[in-house]
Amino acid sequence: MCDTVVAVGSATKDKSVIFGKNSNRVPNEAHNIEYIKGKKHKPNSKVKCTYISVPQVEQTYDVLLLKPFWMFGCEMGANEHGVTIGNEAVWSKEPIRDTGLLGMDMMRLALERTKTAKDALTTITDLLEKYGQGGQCSYGIVGRDYHNSFIIADSKEAWVLETADKYWIAEKVKGIRTISNSLTIGSEYDLIHPDLIKDAIAKGYTKSKEEFHFANDFIPNFRFYHALKESSPRSQYFTKGFDRQQCTTALLLKNKGKITPEDVMSVLRNHNIPEERKDTFSLDKAKASSPCHHATGMIVPDQSAGSLVSHIKKNIQVHWVTGSTAPCISTFKPIFFPKPGLKRKLKLSDAVFDADAFWWMNEKFQRLVSLDYQKRLFIFKQERDDLEKEFSEQVQTILKKVTGKPTEADLKKMDKITSDAFSISIKKVKEWTRKIEQLPIENKTGYLYRFFWNKQNKEVNLELSDA
C-alpha cells in the first residue's frame, strides 16, 4: 500500500512543485532505479507492456523509473520535461479485469510520451478507455489486483486522477494534496468521464447528479483485502488508506507556504505515532497506518520498497531517490533532469539476493537494522543525516547558480554530485553493514515477526547473522 503527496507553488517555499511517494510492495519484490533514454521508433511498431502490447509512438522521452523488477511499468517516475507521476491501489464497485494495462504501465507510457501533466492525464485516460486496466499487480501473490489513482505533476501544476475500471474523474490540485489506498474525490472535480454519472445512476450507485459523490458512490460497502478485502468509505481496516492520507495531509499542512523537499522526505519517513513513543518504536509494532511502511506479517504484508521526492522547477528538476526500502533508514540521493540524468549504471536486482545489486545490497542492511531498530539506527543515523545535508547544500548551490539553461560545466557538476552521492552511499551502507553485523541484539523483536522475516530471507537465499 502506498502514499503519494504533492505541494504546488502556492504551498512551497520557493514556489516550485514538490512531489513525493513511498512505493509499498511485498518483501523480496526488488524495486529498481532505471534511467531510460528516449528514442525514435519505427512506424507501426508495438511496445510490450506487462501483459499486453499497444502501438508505440514515433518518439519517446528520457525517463527515470522507480519500478518493481518484473513489470514493464513503474510505481513512480519522471521524464525530461518535468512530468512526474505516482499511483495508488484503489478498489471500487466496478469489477477488476483479468488482463489489460496495469496502472503502472499507463504511468510509464504517459511519461515516455508527454510534455505536461495535463497531457499525461489525457494519455492515461485514453489508454484506460482503449485497453482497460487489469492483471495481477504484485510479485508472487495471486489475487492482488486493483484499480488505480494517480498524482500527476509538472513544474506548473498537479492533478489527482482516480479510476474505477474504465471510469475516471480528476481534480486540479490547489495548495497541497495527498492520496493513499482509497478513492478521495467527491462532488467537486474538474474533469470527468462523460458517462460516469449517468452510468452510476443506472447502476444504483447514486440517485441523481445532484447527489453524486464519487468516493462515497464507488467505494464498496464491504470488500475484503486480498482473500479478505475490506474497503468501506472512510474505514479500511486492513489497508488504512484514509488513516495514512489524514496523516500525510496533516504533516504537510504544518508547513504550508514554506514546504521544502526535506519536509516531504520527513513526511515519507513518518510512522504516524505519538512523539513520546518515537524513541521506543520497534518495527515489529509497525501499523498499516504508517506512511513509512514496514512489513510485519499477514496483517501488514507490505514495506516501503522505494521512495521518491521530486523538486520540480522549470529549468531543473531534482529527483531525490532512496533505491531501497524503509525511508526512515535510507539515504535520499539526488538525480538531475532533464540532463544529465543518471549516467552511473546500477546493477539491477531481481527475485534472488545478490550482494552486488543496488537494491539487495541496501535491503540486507535494512533487514539487519530491523532486528534491533532503535539501537542500530542510532549507530548511523547522524552520519546519514549529515550526508543528506551535504548533498542538499551541493544541490542548493547549483539551483541558486543556474537560473536558465544549464551550461556544459553545470551539467558536469550535476553529474558529479549524483555520482558522488551514490558512490558515498554505497560505501557507507557497506561500512554500516559490517559494523552492525558485529553487534549483539539487545532488544529482540517478537517471535511472529522474526518467523515472518526468516521465511522471507530463506526464499531469496539471504543469510543474516542473529536473524
Q: What is the model's pLDDT at position 230?
A: 36
The verdict on 316 and 381 lying in the same domain is no
SS (H, E, C) the chain: CCEEEEECHHHECCCCEEEEEEEEECCCCCEEEEEECCCECCCCCEEECCCCEEECCCECCCEEEEEECCCCCCCEEEECCCCEEEEEEECCCCCCECCCECHHHHHHHHHHHCCCHHHHHHHHHHHHHHHCEECCCCCCCCCCCCEEEEEEECCCCEEEEEEECCEEEEEECCCEEEECCCCCCCCCCCEECCCHHHHHHHCCCCCCCCCCCHHHHHCCCCCCECCECCCECCECCCCCHHHHHHHHHHHHHCCCCCECHHHHHHHHCCCCCCHHHHHHCCHHHCCCCCCCCCCCCCCCCCEEEEEEEEEECCCCEEEEECCCCCCCCCCCEEEEECCCECCCCCCCCCCCCCCCCHHHHHHHHHHHHHCCHHHHHHHHHHHHHHHHHHHHHHHHHHHHHCCCCCCHHHHHHHHHHHHHHHHHHHHHHHHHHHHHHCCCCCCCCCHHHHHHHHHHHHHCCCCCCCC
For the stretch 374-383, contacts whose Cβ atoms lie closer than 8 Å and that sit 24 or more positions apart, written own/partner, are 374/279, 374/280, 374/281, 374/282, 374/443, 375/439, 375/442, 375/443, 376/436, 376/439, 377/328, 377/329, 379/432, 379/435, 379/436, 379/439, 380/428, 380/432, 380/435, 380/436, 383/428
Compute the chain's Rg from CA coordinates. 21
Torsional sign, CA 97, 99, 103, 107: negative
Query: For cell 542473529, what's the residue?
Result: 466
206 vs 209: CA distance, rounded Å: 8
Asked whether residue 416 is domain-assigned, the answer is: yes
* Domain span holding position 91: 3-191+238-351
Query: For cell 507556504, what's the residue?
Result: 257
The verdict on 252 and 401 lying in the same domain is no
Asked whether residue 115 is domain-assigned, the answer is: yes
Asked whether residue 363 is domain-assigned, the answer is: no
Asked whether residue 466 is domain-assigned, the answer is: no
Q: What is the model's pLDDT at position 241?
A: 86
Asked whether residue 447 is domain-assigned, the answer is: yes
The verdict on 339 and 385 lying in the same domain is no
Q: What is the model's pLDDT at position 222?
A: 54
Supply the residues annotated as catalytic. 2
The verdict on 48 and 132 lying in the same domain is yes
The verdict on 284 and 170 lying in the same domain is yes
Contact 17, 260 (CB under 8 A): no
The verdict on 283 and 410 lying in the same domain is no
Question: Which of 317, 351, 385 is where one domain is finished?
Answer: 351
The verdict on 246 and 383 lying in the same domain is no
- How many domains does the chain divide into? 2
The verdict on 345 and 383 lying in the same domain is no
The verdict on 337 and 396 lying in the same domain is no
Contact 305, 361 (CB under 8 A): no
Predicted TM-score (pTM) of this structure: 0.95
- What value, to the nearest 5°, has the Cα angle with vertex 267 and ends 84 and 304? 70
| Beta-carbon contacts of residue 255 (< 8 Å; ≥ 6 apart) | 263
The verdict on 255 and 312 lying in the same domain is yes
Asked whether residue 215 is domain-assigned, the answer is: no
Asked whether residue 233 is domain-assigned, the answer is: no
Q: In the Cβ-directed half-sphere of 349, how many Cα atoms lie within 13 Å?
A: 29
For helices 103-113 and 117-131, the axis angle rounded to 10 degrees is 130
What CATH number has the domain bearing residue 323?
A: 3.60.60.10
Q: What is the model's pLDDT at position 228?
A: 39
The total of other beta-carbon atoms located within 10 Å of residue 55's CB is 11
The verdict on 47 and 150 lying in the same domain is yes
pLDDT by position in tens, the chain (length 467)? 799 999 999 999 999 999 999 999 999 999 999 999 999 999 999 999 999 999 999 999 999 999 999 999 999 999 999 999 999 999 999 999 999 999 999 999 999 999 999 999 999 999 999 999 999 999 988 778 999 999 999 999 999 999 999 999 999 999 999 999 999 999 999 999 999 999 999 999 999 999 999 999 999 875 444 333 333 333 344 678 889 999 999 999 999 999 999 999 999 999 999 888 888 899 999 999 999 999 999 889 999 999 999 999 999 999 999 999 999 999 999 999 999 999 999 999 999 999 999 999 999 999 999 999 999 999 999 999 999 999 999 999 999 999 899 999 999 999 999 999 999 999 999 999 999 999 999 999 999 999 999 999 999 999 986 66
Residue 410, φ and ψ in degrees, nearest 5: -60, -45
Asked whether residue 365 is domain-assigned, the answer is: no
For the chain, give the number of residues. Answer: 467
The verdict on 35 and 102 lying in the same domain is yes
Contact 411, 340 (CB under 8 A): yes
Q: What is the model's pLDDT at position 467?
A: 60
